Structure 1
């Protein structure tokens, strides 16, 4: 599978497993899981045929580890980023003292005034390193990294969870916990 094909399949999986399972006639369970056979059959019925080997390749090589197989390998789900209602069952976790959020330069002012909200997603996504935040911000124009005082948030009772691929999740980040990285 070449890189272009891998990206194409990854984007299709993201759309279906995070946002629109109905588009291929599948149902996610309450935790976001769907049987692999159902996913592959749904993709094939809608002209997006993917083999199990190709699916395995995309899951194994995705640098953001966006997808996870169940322990028995029979089900798959997106690790986070859902707009459809799911409960990933992630336990509360103690965050590192500082987390980061990447955004584009045009949104920095409003975020610093109003804070971070999940928008269409279920959670605000944060990273543990600035490199990831820069990559995320680059998708939105000139990247800007915001520093989140996760220790202060946790001390104030805000809950954090960490997804299978290391993305930190929280409901929202108020402006008082945000600063712009130099």
Structure 2
């Protein structure tokens, strides 16, 4: 559980996560011929980016209306949240029973995950809010120091500071990380 090399990155602002994705895309590592051939995508036609809010929720929830990434009620044995009692981040994959229907691990708890979406009404039609411009983006998934309420697939936040249960101010980026999407360039 304390495998430090396999923990999610933390202390990341949304703009930094976007810059990292752009850096990976610019490296064109993913556009090398073997990867393109295996994936069936055109050579050079891949990009690395943050998921949109809708993509993140779909990866966490699947096609049904589940509340958590797993089927059933809240269970602290399926995510690194405050009720679990770990008190720090855990290595990726420590909670395999909390996997989403698509097999995505740690969608709930551990660290908040930045999306490429600005906070507006949700759900929404494609209205351009994923343009990557601005300084306030939605985070999803809750973190290791949040309770089960934040563990819901539908829970969203965008403020850079929030109150802990003991009313002390903490900054969201302290427990903010990200996961990436690799997609074809449209």
Pairwise same-fold verdict (TM > 0.5): no
Select the structure that is richer in helix. Answer: 1
Task: Give the alignment's TM-score, normalised by structure 2.
Answer: 0.27
Task: Give the alignment's TM-score, normalised by structure 1.
Answer: 0.28
